[in-house]
Amino acid sequence: MSDNGCGFPAPGLNSFLFKPLFTVGGFEFNKVMLLALVTTLLVITFFSAAFGKAKVVPGKLQMIGEAGYDFVRRGIVYETLGKREGEKWVPLMVSLFFFVWIMNIWSVIPLAQFPVSSVIAFPMVLAAIVYITWVALTFKKHGFVGFFKNVTGYDKSLGAVLPLVMVIEFFSNLLVRPFTHAVRLFANMFAGHLMLVMFTVASWYLLNSWLVVGAGVSFVMTMAMILFELFVQAVQAYVFVLLACSYIQGALAEHH
């Protein structure tokens, strides 16, 4: 029986907590870390195998790799940064896209069944990488004065409202931006996983009660949620990289 007395084990934050698989010197290594490590190895292994010995007439693996690489390059990077400026950023953005996507997709993989991105630490680290890259690039491109103008949206034509706009833009770009970049990914994966757990547990609970018909409805909803999550997982990877490209584009933009 659950604490609410109805017997239904309502999912909550306990769904995001895992006991350590092992501990080394006080450092606890759990399931989420294992999935993140496997994700890293999968991305590296796949692209190494696909392009390690690239051929003029590509094999199946190389074709899949080229399709994924070209999707990010042309569909996100070139569309945001242009071909000339964007080409140098393609490897980073491809890595980010597939890393985020695979972290998300673990949610619907049997045995794993958990999106790594629903643990805020992982989106925060990825957002920090993008943020540090953006800050460093802006300094390199524009210098200190140019950086200040870039992050504050300095524009003399704004007149009397310029100081207010500069304060808002300053806090928005330097403080809010990395936070929202991480939280957008985290919140979607957190909510999606919670919904999947709720319908899955409900299906099992109802199947073992007199509400067998309800179990069927809940199971159908679970399948629908899985399909919807597959879509959301890809979209969130796309949005994360699209925002990263837009930040890079902003760092390269000229401000007068």
Write the pLDDT tens digit of every residue in 7-20.
556 666 777 888 88
Token readout for 131 is 């943020």
Determine the longest span between alpha carbons in the chain, in angstroms. 71
Cα 240 from Cα 256, distance rounded (Å): 29
Cα 231 from Cα 242, distance rounded (Å): 16
Judged by DSSP in three states, 29 sits in: strand
pLDDT digits (tens, 9 = 90+) for 66-124: 999 999 999 999 999 999 889 999 999 999 999 999 999 999 998 888 999 999 999 99
Of 192, 200, 194, 191, nearest to 221 by C-alpha is 200
Contact indicator for 45, 37 with CB cutoff of 8 Å: no
Locus of tokens 């907590």? 17
Instruction: Note the pLDDT of residue 220.
Output: 81
Instruction: Note the pLDDT of residue 179.
Output: 94
Stretch among 81-95, 131-145, 150-164 having the lowest mean pLDDT:
150-164
Token readout for 145 is 């004065």
Instruction: Note the pLDDT of residue 199.
Output: 78
Locus of tokens 């899985």? 226
